[in-house]
Structure formats: C-alpha cells, structure tokens
Amino acid sequence: MTKRIRLRTLLMGGFFALLFVGLVFRIYWVQVGPASAQWAEKARKTWMTSEQIPQERGKMLDRNGAVLAANAVAYTVAVSPKRVAQLEKENPDWHFADRIVSKFHNVLGTPEDKLRSIIGAKRKDGTYLDQKEVRPDGWKIDKSVKDRLDTFTQEMRTLTGKKDVGVYFIQDQKRYYPNGSLASHILGYQNKEGTAILGLEKTLDNALKGSPGSIQYEKDNTGAQLPNGQVTMKPAINGKDVTLTIDQDIQFYMEEAIRESYDQYHPISITAIAADPKTMDILGMASLPEFDPNQYWTAQGQDSFKDNAVQSIYEPGSTFKIVTLAAAVQEGKFNPEERYMSGSISVSKKSTPIRDVKRGGWGEISFLEGLKHSSNVAFVKLGYEKLGAEKLRSYIDAFGFGQKTGIELPGELAGAISFRNNVPREVATAAFGQGGVQVTPIQQVTAVAAVANGGKLMQPHLIKSISDPATGTKQVFEPKVVRQVISPESARKVGDYLETVVSDQKIGTGKIAYIPGYRIAGKTGTAQKVINGKYSPDKYVVSFIGFAPVEDPRIVLYVILDEPQTPLAGGGSVAGPVFKKIMEQSLRHLGIMPNLSAADQANTLPASASKDVTASVTDVTGMTTGQAKTELKRHNFDAMTIGGGGKVVQQLPKAGSTLPISQPVFLLTEVTPGTLPDMTGMSLRDALEMCSLLKATCTVKGEGYVVAQQESKSGADLKVSLTLAPPGQPPQQQQAAAVSKGGTASIGSVSKGTSPGRASASPAPNG
C-alpha cells in the first residue's frame, strides 16, 4: 500500500514537473523566442489607446487683415436616456423628462415628439442608451445657447440633489463668419459635417483644412494614462491662412447700397462688382438674394446660394457698347465729330429696322452725341458698317467674352457669343449688346477694366496670399496680364469719351452718376429680356458700369439688376444711383478726395453748413502723439491714445476711411498695450478691428453696436466680452435685445476661438 502511494506520488510529481518545465519553456518562447515581437505587439494593443487631435482650419482675411472666416468654439448637446430613466424612477414627481423636453424645445426648437424619442432611446435588447446627441438642432451650437441650457442643468441639479442629471455638452469647433452674410457668396461656407460648400471655402479647402494629429498612450485597466507609459504623438497641422483681395469696408458699402435698391425695386437679383483695374484685385463682389453662412440652413431657397456675378448670364445691353467703341477707336473708325442721322437704321431688306430708344431719334447728331444718348443706330454704324462682322467679333473675343475669366470661384460660366457673321441683323444687334451676346457680370468688369488700365486684359482674382502659420512661408499671387487688347492711347481716348456720358448734365444718359469733384467714366445699360423666344416689352435687365478717377483709375464698378419692378426701368434711373453711392464711398475710403471747384462747393454744401458732418481720416502713423492730435484736429476729429508710447504705431479707423466727425480716432502707441478703450457705440467691424490691433481675444454677443464690454486678463492674455444691440433702443432694452439675439463666438486673435437662346424676333432693343 505504501509502495503504491509512493509510486502515485512520484508519477504526480513527475507530471507537475513536466508541466512546470513546459510552462517555463512557453513563457520563454513567448517573451524571448522568435515570436516574442509578435506577441508583444498584440499585448501592447490591449493596453494602448489612441485619440485624434483636431486641427484648426485656416482663417480668411480681407486685404487689410480683418477676419472674414475663422474657427470658433461650439458645443453639441447630448442626453443620457439611461440616467434620465433612473432619475424618473427615483422620483416620478420631478417629471424630469418633461422638463428636459420643454426646455430643449423652447431653446433649440426641436419638436417635442422627436425629443421624447431621443430621451427614450433604447438598444435592441431593450436597455436604455448611455448617451445620445440631440441632432441636428443641438449640434454645434453657440456658447450663448449652451449657456441657457447650462443654467437649466444647474437648476435640475439643485432640484434633484444629483451632480449627474443626464445632460451633457461636448466641446467642438465650427466655422464662424463674424460679419454674417457679408461676402457670403465669395466665402461660401463649411457645413456642420465639416464639408466645405461653395465659394472659396470649397476652392481653397485643401489649403485651409490642414490635417488632424493623434496621440497614443498606455493605459491601466480603468482607462487612465500610465504615468511612465509609452506615449507616441503626431501633432496636428493647422490649415493655412488666406488673405483675400476684397476690402471689407468696400464690400460693406456695396451690400448696403444694393440692399436698399433690392428692397425698393424687388428685382429677381441684383449684383455689384468692384475691382482695381490695374491689378484686377476684386475689392468687393455682392449679390442678392444672399444667405448667412453661420445659419446656411435658413436661406430662402436655392437662389440665395447662386453667385450671380459668375453664375448668371445676361444680354448686357448698352454697357457692351464700350467694347464696340474701344474697337472703333483702336481701328481709327470713331470720329467724335462725324455726323449721322439717328432714329432708325435698316441692315437688310428682310429684317425690321433697328431703332433708337427715342422714337424718331434726335435728328442729325455727332457720334459723340450718339454715345451720350446711347444711340443704337450709332453703334450699328460703328460695329456693323465700319468695323464689320469679323473685326467686331475679333475684338469681342480679345476682350475675353465667351470664355471663363479664371476667377477662383466654383461654377463660373463662360457666357456665349453666338451671333452669325453672315446674318446682318445679328451682327448689328451684337454691336450694342443684344441678340447673340450673353455675358457674365465678371466678364463685363474684366473688359471695362482693360479700358481703364491702358488696354490690358487681366485675370480677375480674389486671393492675395496664402500663409502657413507653422513655417512662416507665404505664397503671394501676382496680377496676371492675359493680353494687350487696345493701345494705351486708345484706352485713354475711350475713357475721355465715356466721361462725357456722365459729365454732360443735359444729354448724358449717365448724368445721374455724376459726383462733384471726381472724373467718372460710365455707361448705362437697359436690355430687354427674352421671354419664350421673344423680347419682352416690359421686362428688362438694367445696369451701370464705369470707373474713376478717369485720370488715374482706381475702381471699376458694375451694378446690374434683373427685372426691377418699376415701369421706368433704366440703367441710369435705377442702377445709376446705386453706382454713384458705392463709388463715392469707396473713393473716399481709398483716400481719393474730390477736387471741388468753387461752383461745386457751393452746389454741394448748404449755405448754413458750418462744417462737414463726415470727413476722411488722414494718415498719422509715425507721428508723435502731439503731432497726430493736432493733424486730426485740423480735420475736426478728436483723438484717443492707447498705450504709453510716444509715437503712433497704428490707427483706427485706418487712413482714408470716411466717418462722422463725432467719432474719435484711436491712436495705438504700443504694440501690446494692456487695456482697451471704451468701445461703446462702435460697430462690430470696428470693435473687432480694435481687438485685433490690441491682440485681445474677443467674444461677441448679439447684433448691432457695442452697448457694453467686460475685460479680463489671464496672464499676459487680454480678453474682452462685447455685448451688442440694435441702435435706437432704450438702454434698459439693449441688454435684453443682445441676449435674445444670442450668437456668441470668438474669433482669431481677433482671436482663436471664435440663356435664353437667340430671339426669333426682336422689337427695338433699348440702349
């Protein structure tokens, strides 16, 4: 018996010994053997975790550095169906779910039935979800909306005595456009999914978006990072910043002016484009209807997203006569003193006569008078008789019509030049911009700019430079000359002839655009629209195009309205006043002051006027503060200095700006002063520029003008919160108005944290 026990013990001992040896060998094989690296990698995956590091999308700035688009802090609202169910079970008298539904419905606008389905969301096994986001209404909301819901959350914590009440806010980023709808068709927008839609956001997406980074680290069984664990990090690469050619102030003047006309005449659309003819920098481009890229989902139909400047084609009418005039001057076919009989002209026996806008015409007049009257007959003689079909078409092609300009916007159309050279009437009507001539507004501006700049056709562009903040490198986009179309001497003559269209206050069709003290060259356009293959007797496209000053052109400007609702629709009467308002404001903004004669001054200023209501700000940068104040006082401006320096480093508003003399000019004397001036009464644009100058992080609440500001410092960082409200409200209502508007965001440093086809028949097209 003892022997048997010993034998069994020996066998069991041998078995366990072999098992132990096998285990040791296996451990050695796994940790040291040839397969050790493979096993170690598998093990590492069980205790390693990774997270994505979001990058920041690049900013878009105007030509002077004002922020037009930037990333801002946003929040996504989420609820825990599981936690809400627990709290409902603990105390049904709280009606916790009903409270959440009511509050979220009032703040976010989400239907109550949808909110109840979110709060009650379950898995397939019937258990409640741990968390569910409130989409789309609670997705990437502004801080002001988040704060309202956060106040509600605090109330629920007090009611329940619980820290976790099942409502959460996930911090995120979104694209923010501090000026709302300003330049919306140029900028485009980025939707909540992070996809770039329309405009330069889409064209420049690869440059703006950057790339995300990542971090990998070792964790313990609770998910916490191990203090001495391995960490691998790939840094995020932020997007590049893009400086545009547009001037935010000129863009504002344009949108303000076309909105007034849009509200008065209710056209299908109205478009305005301003450019520097010497470089073809687009200084402003606006189109109505429009949209707010911050709330793109509220746009009134797809027409709001259409950029008519590059995506609509029109028969231009008499503004196109500039092309025919330029060709005739270049070819030596235009004699301003030569006379002809106005009224009507026949180009073939089979077609009806082409008539001037005034039945019977003006009798025998000179070709220069014909230009001033916008006589169709004069341009039939110039284009059809003197130039001929082939020569006329060659100049139309040379001025860039029928082909895309190459501007950096998606969806640009090429227009169409479809008149037949062997059909006399088609050639004749093309000479004054109707029939087989269909163009885009940007083509019109590019062609007239060629006349203004000495005959050079240039490619229009919106991008001035692209900067990489990580490397400090900058890609600068230089002006591009396409071809020389006419000689500088011919261009000068054409400019002088077009000036008479505006300056002749008796017969000039563009006389309404006359601005005392400035030499303006311009041309009106009133084109009948083609409806169902025939020219309509009462539907028009009206326009005005011109440039100034004639002696040294700085701006070429085009205004076009599609079907203004008025029986007296005309390029001069409807588009002319818009052109005049934009042009005068823009010239003054650029520091080009009027050269007024004594007669002009007497006609411009009332006798009782003791001093100007507005004036242009002079440049005082580089002066001592005393010199600057004296110089500004000469122009009736008060000055406020910021900082303790002795010389003016920067000024706000910048030199050349036109503003009421009641508004002070701020003089920055240090690069990084520690305090901000009182900005009460400032527009959002000026306030943001002030924050940018002083390198302050600025958050904005509400819309309108600054009614309150609150400053704080975190180390060397200066932060300011601005409250805005519409003008004209009593002070006690302004704060409430600002809060109700919401819309808080922080930005940059302004900060880091906010054809119709050819007509089969055509009555007399109008000039």
Torsion of CA 689, 692, 697, 702, to 10 degrees: 10
Q: Which of 110-114, 195-199, 393-397, 750-754 has the lowest mean pLDDT?
A: 750-754
| pLDDT range class, residue 22, cuts 50, 70, 90 | confident
pLDDT band at 189 (very low <50, low <70, confident <90, very high): very high
Spatial separation of the C-alpha atoms in residues 695 and 691, rounded to whole Å:
6
Residue 25 scores a pLDDT above 80 = no
Q: Is 80 exceeded by the pLDDT of residue 417?
A: yes
Whether the per-residue pLDDT at 226 is higher than 90: the answer is: no
What does the DSSP assignment read for 438-476?
EB-HHHHHHHHHHHHTTSEEE--B-EEEEE-TTT--EEE
Lowest mean pLDDT among 552-556, 583-587, 666-670: 666-670
Query: What's residue 610's pLDDT?
Result: 36
Res 37 pLDDT > 70: no
Mean pLDDT value across residues 540-567? 95
Q: Is the peptide bond before 136 cis (omega within 30 degrees of 0)?
A: yes
Main-chain dihedrals φ then ψ at residue 400, nearest 5 degrees? 95, 5
* Cα-Cα-Cα-Cα dihedral sign, residues 501, 507, 512, 518: positive
In this predicted structure, the answer to whether residue 423 has a pLDDT above a threshold of 50 is yes
Characterize the bridge pairing of strands 416-417 and 364-366: unpaired
Say if residues 553 and 278 touch (Cβ distance below 8 Å).
yes
Whole-Å CA distances, 514 to 206, 321, 413, 548: 45, 20, 33, 11
Q: How far is CA 586 from CA 205, 549, 640, in A?
A: 31, 11, 26
Residue 364: burial class (beta carbons within 10 Å; 0-12, 13-18, 19+): exposed
Model pLDDT, residue 756: 32
Give the Cα separation of 473 and 360 in Å (integer).
65
C-alpha distances (whole Å) from 366 to each of 42, 60, 523 are 93, 51, 18
Residue 143 has what pLDDT?
Answer: 83
Indicate the pTM of the whole model.
0.72
Listed in sequence order, the residues at least 6 apart from 495 whose beta carbon sits closer than 8 Å to its beta carbon are 451, 452, 521, 547, 550, 553
Which is higher by pLDDT, 604 or 347? 347
The model's confidence at residue 27, banded by pLDDT at 50, 70 and 90, is confident
pLDDT band at 201 (very low <50, low <70, confident <90, very high): very high
Determine the Cα angle at 416 with ends 410 and 422, to 5°.
165
Q: Could you give the CA distance from residue 398 to residue 220 in angstroms, rounded to a whole number?
A: 72
pLDDT of residue 52: 77
From 754, 755, 758, select the one nearest 746 (Cα to Cα): 754
* CA-wise closest residue to 275 among 492, 497, 461: 461
pLDDT tens digits, 676-704: 777 777 777 677 777 776 777 777 777 76
Contact 482, 400 (CB under 8 A): yes
Show the domains of the chain with their CATH numbers: 54-185 (3.30.70.2110), 248-292+307-463+476-589 (3.40.710.10), 612-670 (3.30.10.20), 674-754 (no CATH)
**Positive or negative, the Cα torsion across 498, 500, 502, 503?**
positive
Which of 52-61, 93-102, 626-635 has the weakest average pLDDT?
Answer: 626-635
pLDDT at residue 761, rounded to an integer: 35
Q: Is the pLDDT of residue 731 over 60?
A: no
Cα(395)–Cα(401) distance, integer angstroms: 9
Residue 188, SS3?
coil
- Helix, strand, or coil here: 539? strand
Of the chain, the percentage scoring pLDDT greater than 70 comes to 84
Mean pLDDT of the chain: 84
Q: Choose among 293, 299, 305: nearest CA to 69.
A: 293
Dist CA 534 CA 361 (whole Å):
24
Is it the case that residue 757 has pLDDT exceeding 60?
A: no
586 catalytic, yes or no? no
The per-residue pLDDT for range 428-485, each reduced to its tens digit, is: 999 999 989 999 999 999 999 999 999 999 999 999 999 998 888 999 999 999 999 9
Active-site pick, 184, 318, 342, 467: 318
**Residue 194 corresponds to which amino acid?**
G
